[in-house]
Amino acid sequence: MYDAIDDPHTYDNSTVLVNRLDLRTQTELDAFEAEISTARAEEPLPKGALDFSHYKAVHHHLFQDVYDWAGQVRTVRISKGGNPFSFLKISKVKPKCCSMIFMRLAF
């Protein structure tokens, strides 16, 4: 299950993410996301330097058929199954900092 607080990427009065097929139940969205992202993962991934821009390009590649905002930086706290992830307070984290984090991960 997807959890978010005041997320503009969810349907009103729901925790289901707005998606390209307009699926309104989490079960349907989970099945579609798994099927499509698995198929996209079998394709060649975008070439890149394993930096923040490349990370976003890979995210876009995997989820472009599911979400219009695939590959964009999230601006709200989110979690799936109670595990928080993918949140950057844009006003506090600059793109240069993201690049530095990815450079450190590469070593």
The residue segments making up the domain with residue 75 are 2-106
Q: Which of 2-6, 8-12, 55-59, 75-79 has the highest mean pLDDT?
A: 55-59
Angle at alpha carbon of residue 51, lines to 16 and 60, rounded to 5°: 30
- φ and ψ of 3, to 5 deg: -125, 135
pTM above 0.85, yes or no: no
CATH code at position 63: 1.10.3290.10
Total domains, the chain: 1
CB contact set of 77 (below 8 Å; sequence gap of 6+)? 4, 5, 84, 87
Query: What pLDDT, in 10s, does the model give residues 59-104?
Result: 999 999 999 999 988 777 777 777 766 555 554 555 666 667 766 7
At residue 61, the pLDDT reads 98
Residue 52, Ramachandran bin (φ over 0: left; ψ between -120 and 50: alpha; else beta): alpha
